[in-house]
Amino acid sequence: MKLLETVFHLDLIESTMSDPTRALPQNPRTIDEAVDALIDELPLKNKTAIANLKDEELICLHPTLGGYIREKSGLWHKNSELLKYCCSFVEVDSLSADDASAIIIIWLWRRLKEIHTLRVVK
């Protein structure tokens, strides 16, 4: 299981970081904009894999996809619009970039569960 998980993470890094100089499209200012940009950018197989994760498995996306979100969306900057939006969304004065990226991952997962979950077809 750990080997499969590692392969998934490496594939996710490769597919989402094909151009390391590129920021997320439209420099997202809201969670919805960030999620939309990620959905546009992720390959179908990764969208499906994320959609089929259990909620307790989301933590495994934090080092790879979370790192990509933090780096490419500018969450490291204290005056980032997206970071400010995440703070207001959860009604706190401040959040770390790690916490904000976790919020975005959760919303991405929820949206993908609606549209990319594998179903048994009879």
State how far the alpha carbon of 41 is from the alpha carbons of 5, 35, 61, 77, 97, in Å.
Answer: 21, 10, 16, 23, 21
Question: What is the residue-averaged pLDDT of the chain?
Answer: 82
- pTM for the full model? 0.78
pLDDT tens digits, one per residue of 59-77: 989 888 998 899 888 888 8
Residue 71 to residue 35: CA distance in whole angstroms: 15
Domain boundaries defined on the chain: 2-19+28-115
pLDDT tens digits, one per residue of 18-56: 555 555 556 799 999 999 999 988 888 888 888 888 899
